């Protein structure tokens, strides 16, 4: 019996040994059937074991609280370190993507080869003589235009004209005989044809695509190309002498009407137009407002710095000598 705990006091109890044996048997049966609480598992523990177990539990609780605090502190530091690393990685990726995006903005992306081939095949299959073209044009006029019976000089449209002209992105009139835009695509050719252009000035250094060359040849458009590199932090890459040559081409009446374009019609084209505005004696605030309007949402401070610092003395002397000033609106 020594070392075992019962539900009675073995010292003060006056029961017989038979009663004690019955109580012991009953107590053991109760402990076996009771699985709901840890109190029922005390049957085979001595008092010393219980005290040691209690002291061990207390030590584990204290140690556990200490470990928890250490773990919590460690987790906080790990979280902050990870957050800091993620922020740095995101910043680096953003800078990298921005640089790549700028490169993409300035680089010409070719038109889908299938679309180009379809356009070239259409050109080959549509070679007709001038008389047939004139007959077709007259038929179109008679189809869509109705003359007044009282006055043959008065006409009105009796039907909606079929066909949609699509201008290039960022298209606008700069001044008399000068237009600006992004890179013209095949879907823009009909619109450009309506402008009756004499010349096109391209500012990208890449090779001009075959479909644009064919369009120029078919419509007797003179082609100029001055390859410029876009301004990117931290360097100004546009060369002032090339800008001067481009302006001389643009303001020459023999080349007008003329279209100037780069890839997006924003940055390189914006720099050229900004320098032309200096010839027109615009204020810097007006020049920069126009630049930001067309360059949005990717305005480049270096472009505006270039426009401000550009020395227009040479091109102004050229314009004066050739009586090209003032530039007409």
Of 300, 301, 325, which Cα lies nearest the Cα of 247? 325
Name the β-bridge partners of 38.
none
- Show Cβ contacts of residue 239 under 8 Å, excluding neighbours closer than 6 positions: 228
Pick left, alpha or beta for residue 32 (phi over 0 → left; psi -120 to 50 → alpha; otherwise beta): alpha
Is the omega angle on the peptide bond into residue 142 within 30 degrees of 0, that is, cis? no
Bridge-based pairing state of the strands 222-225 and 172-175: unpaired
Q: How far apart are CA 180 and CA 194, in angstroms?
A: 15
**Cβ atoms 257, 179 nearer than 8 A:** yes
Kindly state the tokens that stand for 90. 């995101």
Q: How far apart are CA 157 and CA 34, in angstroms?
A: 102
Active site positions, annotated: 262
- Show Cβ contacts of residue 119 under 8 Å, excluding neighbours closer than 6 positions: 186, 211, 214
Residues in the chain: 329
- Show Cβ contacts of residue 246 under 8 Å, excluding neighbours closer than 6 positions: 201, 203, 226, 260, 272
């Amino acid at each position: 019996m020594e070392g075992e705990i019962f539900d009675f006091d073995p010292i003060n109890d006056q029961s017989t040994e038979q009663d004690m044996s019955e109580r012991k048997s009953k107590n053991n049966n109760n402990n076996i059937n009771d699985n709901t609480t840890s109190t029922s598992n005390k049957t085979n523990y001595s008092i010393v074991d219980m005290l040691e177990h209690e002291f061990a539990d207390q030590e584990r609780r204290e140690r556990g609280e200490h470990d928890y605090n250490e773990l919590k502190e460690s987790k906080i530091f790990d979280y902050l370190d990870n957050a800091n690393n993620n922020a740095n990685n995101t910043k680096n990726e953003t800078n990298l993507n921005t640089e790549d995006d700028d490169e993409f903005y300035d680089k010409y992306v070719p038109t889908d080869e299938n679309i180009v081939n379809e356009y070239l095949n259409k050109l080959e299959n549509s070679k007709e003589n001038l008389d047939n073209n004139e007959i077709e044009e007259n038929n179109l006029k008679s189809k869509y235009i109705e003359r007044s019976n009282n006055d043959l000089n008065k006409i009105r449209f009796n039907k909606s004209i079929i066909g949609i002209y699509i201008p290039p992105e960022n298209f606008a009139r700069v001044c008399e005989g000068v237009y600006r835009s992004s890179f013209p695509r095949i879907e823009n050719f009909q619109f450009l044809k309506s402008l009756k252009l004499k010349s096109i000035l391209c500012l990208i250094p890449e090779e001009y695509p075959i479909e644009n060359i064919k369009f120029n040849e078919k419509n007797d458009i003179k082609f100029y190309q001055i390859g410029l590199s876009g301004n990117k932090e931290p360097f100004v890459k546009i060369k002032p002498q090339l800008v001067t040559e481009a302006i001389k081409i643009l303001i020459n009446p023999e080349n007008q009407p003329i279209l100037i374009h780069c890839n997006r019609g924003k940055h390189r084209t914006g720099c050229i137009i900004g320098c032309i505005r200096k010839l027109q004696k615009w204020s810097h605030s007006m020049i920069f407002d126009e630049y930001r309007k067309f360059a949005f949402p990717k305005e480049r401070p270096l472009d505006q710095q270039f426009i401000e610092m550009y020395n227009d003395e040479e091109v102004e002397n050229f314009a004066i000598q050739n009586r090209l000033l003032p530039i007409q609106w």
